[in-house]
Structures are given as C-alpha cells and as structure tokens.
Amino acid sequence: MKLVELLKELTYECVQGSLDITVDKVVYDSRTVDGAKEGDSWLFVCIKGLNSDGHSYAKEMAEEGAKVLVVSQDIPEIADKGVTVIKVADTRYALALISAAYFEYPANRLTTIGITGTKGKTTSTYLVKSILENAGCKVGLIGTIEVIIGDTHIPAYNTTPESYLLQEYFAQMVEAGLDTVVMEVSSQALKLHRTQGFVFDYGIFTNLAQDHIGHGEHESFEDYLSCKSLLFKQCRIGIVNGDDPYVSRVVEGHTCELKTFGLSEKCMLRAVNLKLLNNGGSLGVSFETKGLTELVAQVPTPGKFSVYNALTAIAICQNFGVSEDAVIKALRTAKVKGRIEPVEVSDEFTLLIDYAHNAMSLKSLLTTLKEYQPNRLICVFGCGGNRSRQRRFEMGEVSGQLADLTIITSDNPRFEEPMDIIADIRTGIEKTDGEYVEIPDRREAIAYAIAHGQPGDIIVLAGKGHEDYQEIKGVKYPMDERDLIRDILAEK
C-alpha cells in the first residue's frame, strides 16, 4: 500500500525522505521485526510505553531496514540513515489510523458494539453474542478472556488489544464471513487511542466505580471517568445505565444518540418485579422489562447486577429486531466462564467460580450471595504475589465480614512465598470475627470446601475465574478449577 494512503487520515509532517513509497508491513514493536520479510518495505511506529520508548529504537530500526519511521519527537541520529521520517503529534493515535488504513477499514464492514464500564463488560459481551447468534447474526467477540472469530478462540492478553492487532482481528472477522463484533472497551484502550480509526455503531456504559487508579493505569478517578466518556464521542448510538450515579458525567459532551436502561422509572428500558431464584444447587433471578421492549426473562446467575448485565444485552439487541423468544432463550442458557459460573457438585449446596480478585469485586459478590440467605456462605480465595499487599488486607477483611467461613489458599504466588501472602490475608481477616482456615494448596482447599459443604450452603471460589494456570516462580503451571473439581468428585 502506498504510504500516502496509510497517512491520509492523519495530520503529519514529512521531516525527511519521500512519500512515494510502498509499505508492505506495519511494525510497532521492535521485538517483532522478524515478521517483516527480507526485501519488504516496512514502516515502524515509535510508541511510548510504560517501560520503554520506541523512539530509542529508531536508529536500530533504520539500520535493520525500516523504510519509514513514524515519530513524535526529533531524532537527530537518523538524519543520515536514508529513511523517510513522518512526524505526528501522537504516535499511538497515528498507529490506530495507519492500522485501519493498512487493513482497508474492516470495521466499516462490521456492525461494531463496544462495551465500557468498571464491571459487567465481559458478561455483557457474551450475552450479546448469544442473543444475536440466536437471531441469526454471525458474531465475533473481543474481550478479557479471549477473542472469538468463528470457531477460533484466541487467548487474550489485554481487555482491548493494541490498535494494530484490533484492526487485524476485524479483518479476520470480515474474511471469516462475520457481520458483527461485540467487544470490551477498557478505559486504558480509550486513553491510548486503541479504538481510533473507526466509529462504533453502538457504545455501551455499564457502571463506574473506583478502580484502575494507580501507577501504569489512571492518575485519578477523574482521569478514569474522563477516559470512559470518550466512547460516547466515538459512537453513533450510546446505550447507558441510567441508574449509575456517574452517568451524566460519562455522557457529558456526547455526540451520539442516547438510550438508557436500568431499574428506575426514568430509564427507557427498565426491569421490574425482580425475584431471586434458588433451585437446589443453582441460583438465578427472574424479572420483567418495560419500555423499549416488554418481556419476562430469567438468567441463571444471581443478583441485581445480573439483571443489569441482562438489561445491557437486551437494550443492545432490541436495535437488531431480535424476537422476544430469541432473547429469552439466550438469557436462560448463556454462561460466561469464571463470571459467577455455577459448577454442578451437589443438589444440596451451590458452588460457584468467580473472577473477583480485589476488595470491591469480592464485596459485591459476597453481598449479592448473602441475599439468597444461604445456610452458610463459604469463600475460598488467595491473592496474587508481587502485587499490592493492601489488596490482601482489604480482601481478607471483606471476606471476614461477609463470609461465614473463609478458606485462605494460594493464587498465583509468582515470586513470593505463598505463606507470606496468606499471612497478609490473615491480618485482614483478624480485624473481624470471621472464621477461617488456611490451606495453601488450592486443590486441597477446594476439596475441603466440597467435603464440608452442608445443605443450603453457597461456596464461592474467588479470584481465578477464567484463568487456567497457577503462576509460581515465573512458570505458569496448568490449573483449571473445573478440572480440579472434576478430579475431586471422581475420587469421592
């Protein structure tokens, strides 16, 4: 593709060299230069990351054979390297627009649905995918757990991939014959311009809470909120949780048509007559909807936040003319790995797997489960090594306050000693009157919980969710809690 075609949506300055160049490959990571074949004419975008700056590799890339460098600062040492230098205000923004052009704007051939918010993104994407596929759409998915393109499942490393990879996934979806993509849109992705280069057909806001604030994420809650709000300046139709206390600030200055969902009368789509369901080992909730669409629905996951997730999906899918029967069927059967995921163990008590791995999410989860008035609420969890010790204290205190029994165990100790992490969790629990036991081996901890389950108990395995490994001393060992449970039951 001609360089001028890659740059046509950008404001730029050609500092040196010629624009009359054909580009065969776009590269933004110096470690992937091997992907450019010998003889290819390739372009390197100098990206400033958290730990390294691509500009420091500019000279090396020119010597390796890059024909074009895209930069945001002057680099005197490449003046005599015979390379074309394109200067832009922001190279991340440039990468997004260059990538969209390189893959020939694949998003324009898909209906694009982007979901942002602190909680509910992952579950909502799978619910939307399930409903739309029941209605005959061919739907791709991009999110925290995986990327789904037809029958291909690709493990995810970021909630929202870098812009080049995102556009590549879109192109693969088009090639596979898909017509729709539903994706999670993180605040970091919006901040770092990963979703530039196209306009979402639908932008969705689930909720907002204090999270992702600190080194390498957002400097403040205001920054976090501001980044979330960017989605509603980059979509045609915005669908938002009208009950969220921050919704007016999130949509401030929006450029899209707005629709609202929630439980209150002011919402355009609302849920009424919520009923908690506890059916011998499985939990759920039923409700009716009023407003934009009217139906009676049931979801096989517990609590009010499950209703909000379902409303998110219903509010999106009613724009596609999906029948009520297709919506109802999909909501009854859709499951999301590691998100309040029920695992059949006994008719007498309930066992769930959930990704809750910080104090806020654990508190929300345990508070929701207590509404089902279990005989006992049992929480099995650990905390990751080489991460904030404060998180351990806080999660221990939350579990001690809300669970009847906490089983402290291991969860990705990384380069720390598991017993040191457990000691920090214990410190938090001992601020409460909560009962606890310590079982460092996660398999043994789960076996203990199952063996001691009583009629009416709810047992939740928190922290691992969809993860299928345990990281110890720099090595990821296979470990899926579903496999552990299956083995434990077989031994019984």
Tell me what the mean pLDDT of segment 300-320 comes to: 95
Tell me what the mean pLDDT of segment 78-94 comes to: 94
Tell me what the mean pLDDT of segment 208-213 comes to: 68
Per-residue pLDDT at 33: 79
Same domain, 320 and 353: no
Give how many domains the chain has, as a whole number: 3
Return the residue matching tokens 């812009």. 163
Per-residue pLDDT at 438: 98
pLDDT > 60? residue 214: no
Of 223 and 395, the structure prediction assigns the larger pLDDT to 395
Per-residue pLDDT at 30: 85
Per-residue pLDDT at 388: 86
Domain containing 417 equals 341-491
Per-residue pLDDT at 49: 80
Per-residue pLDDT at 218: 61
> Any idea which of 136-150, 198-212, 344-358 has the lowest mean pLDDT?
198-212
Tell me what the mean pLDDT of segment 26-55 comes to: 84
Per-residue pLDDT at 38: 67
Tell me what the mean pLDDT of segment 432-456 comes to: 97
The CATH number linked to 40 is: 3.40.1390.10
> Any idea which of 214-223, 362-371, 471-480 has the lowest mean pLDDT?
214-223
Torsion angle, alpha carbons of 57, 62, 64, 66, to 10: 110
Same domain, 319 and 409: no
Per-residue pLDDT at 191: 92
pLDDT digits (tens, 9 = 90+) for 126-170: 999 999 998 899 999 999 999 999 999 999 988 899 999 999 999
Tell me what the mean pLDDT of segment 91-99 comes to: 98
Side chain identity at residue 439, one-letter code: I
Same domain, 326 and 351: no
Same domain, 413 and 300: no
Nearest to 127 by CA among 336, 343, 271, 352: 336
Tell me what the mean pLDDT of segment 100-125 comes to: 96
Per-residue pLDDT at 302: 95
Residue 54 near residue 162, CB atoms below 8 Å: no
Per-residue pLDDT at 335: 82
Per-residue pLDDT at 215: 52
Which of residues 317, 333, 349 is at a domain's end?
333
Per-residue pLDDT at 40: 82
| Residue 178, CA distances (Å) to 172, 182, 196, 298, 399 in order | 9, 11, 21, 28, 43
The CATH number linked to 123 is: 3.40.1190.10
Same domain, 314 and 373: no
Same domain, 138 and 284: yes
Per-residue pLDDT at 213: 55
Same domain, 476 and 352: yes
Same domain, 159 and 260: yes
Question: pLDDT band at 35, cuts 50/70/90?
Answer: low
The CATH number linked to 467 is: 3.90.190.20
pLDDT > 80? residue 219: no
Of 224 and 244, the structure prediction assigns the larger pLDDT to 244
Angle (nearest 5°) at CA 116 between 308 and 237: 85
Same domain, 323 and 371: no
pLDDT > 60? residue 212: no
Per-residue pLDDT at 282: 85
Per-residue pLDDT at 36: 63
Tell me what the mean pLDDT of segment 282-289 comes to: 95
pLDDT > 90? residue 39: no
Same domain, 157 and 300: yes
3-state secondary structure the chain: CEHHHHCCCCCCEEEECCCCCECCEEECCHHHHHHCCCCCCEEEECCECCCCEHHHHHHHHHHHCCCEEEECCCCHHHCCCCCEEEECCCHHHHHHHHHHHHCCCHHHHCEEEEEECCCCHHHHHHHHHHHHHHCCCCEEEECCCEEEECCEEEECCCCCCCHHHHHHHHHHHHHCCCCEEEEECCHHHHHCCCCCCCCEEEEEECCCCCCCECCCCECCHHHHHHHHHHHHHCEEEEEEECCCCCHHHHCCCCCCEEEEEECCCCCCEEEEEEEEEECCCCEEEEEEEEECCCCEEEECCCCHHHHHHHHHHHHHHHHHCCCHHHHHHHHHHCCCCCCCEECCCCCCCEEEEECCCCHHHHHHHHHHHHCCCCCCEEEEECCCCCCCHHHHHHHHHHHHHHCCEEEECCCCCECCCHHHHHHHHHHHHCCCCCEEEECCCHHHHHHHHHHCCCCCCEEEEECCCCCCEEEECCEEEECCHHHHHHHHHHHC
Same domain, 274 and 347: no
Tell me what the mean pLDDT of segment 177-188 comes to: 96
Same domain, 227 and 208: yes
Residue 101 near residue 85, CB atoms below 8 Å: no
- What percentage of the chain reaches a pLDDT higher than 90? 87
Question: pLDDT band at 405, cuts 50/70/90?
Answer: very high
Which of residues 84, 102, 120 is at a domain's end?
102
pLDDT > 80? residue 51: no
